[in-house]
Amino acid sequence: MTTLRQRMIDDLKVRNRSARTIQAYIAQVANFARHFGKSPELLGPEEIRQYQIYLVQQARVSWSTYNQAVCALRFLYRHTLGRDWVVAHIPFPRQPQKLPVVLSQAEVIRLFDAVRNQKLRAILMTTYAAGLRLSEVTHLQLADIDSSRMVIRVRQGKGQKDRYVMLSQTLLEALRLYWRAERPRTWLFPGRKDQQRPIGYHVVQRACHLAGIAAGLTKPATVRGLRHSFATHLLEAGTNIRVIQTLLGHHQISTTQRYTYVSTQTVRATESPLELLAYPVAEPEF
């Protein structure tokens, strides 16, 4: 391990960045250095600009990957190398505003019914019932299910924050059935081969995707989509948006407010001007 890499890791740790963030940032900086075949200490604003153009025009990476690369380089040059003048030349990408894909309640039921494996069905039900992120649901422990208070403890969610979410009675019954069949010990959803580790992300993502296909859904079925559906369905049921913000673990209310754009309650609240025309719809004469 190079001295620069170790310094960056140390800088990330003292700022309490998560293990996943550290791993991702180090990988992005390594890709940057590998692209030019030089240490980042020998590179500057012009090389960073060329690399950004490469990511967009040639590598055609996703916005999230591009944004992660920019964040990693900004951290490296600002905190580890102490070159703020370089950071000033790293443009921050403008995030495309996309509406989340939301399943209807009927589609959520069809998705659950399409999952034959009891463990995988319990994971997807937990994700939707509590509005959890993929990393949060896979890292739940048995001790996090508090049936006496009817809450679930989410340990170190995004931003290194703990929070509590509601424990649905229906979910509790489903988890008890799953526990009797599987008898997990520490992790609520352990890996199939290694019981000492939580289930892998890709296993859950693939299960959700295949369930969507089996259910005949026309929308993409994803774990993130179940979290979006949780928030939207609560909003449509009249839950205060501040409560939803707390349950989702959002730092800013603006992040939660995007669900108002996909809520049918919001969209259908205003009558279309076509209705005001009283235009008669009839079969064409030809």
The pTM of the whole model exceeds 0.95: no
pLDDT score, position 286: 58
**To the nearest whole percent, how much of the chain has pLDDT over 90?**
64
pLDDT score, position 103: 94
Q: How many CB atoms are located within 10 Å of the residue 245 CB?
A: 19
Flag whether pLDDT at 267 surpasses 70: no
pLDDT score, position 19: 84
pLDDT score, position 193: 82
Q: How many CB atoms are located within 10 Å of the residue 2 CB?
A: 11
Chain centroid to Cα 104, Å, comes to: 19
pLDDT score, position 102: 92
Q: Among residues 198, 199, 220, which one has the least CA distance to residue 210?
A: 220
Q: What is the dihedral of CA 247, 197, 206, 179, to 10 degrees?
A: -70
State how far the Cα of 125 lies from the Cα of 175, in Å rounded to an integer: 9
Average pLDDT value for residue range 256-265: 76
Domains of the chain: 3-87 (1.10.150.130), 105-267 (1.10.443.10)
Range of weakest confidence among 27-36, 133-142, 159-168, 197-206? 159-168
Provide the pLDDT confidence category of residue 269 given band limits of 50, 70 and 90: low
pLDDT per residue as tens digits for the range 183-236: 999 999 999 888 889 999 999 999 999 999 999 999 999 999 999 999 999 988
Q: Among residues 260, 262, 272, 255, which one has the least CA distance to residue 104?
A: 262
**CA-based max dimension of the chain:** 80
Flag whether pLDDT at 279 surpasses 70: yes
Q: How many CB atoms are located within 10 Å of the residue 139 CB?
A: 19
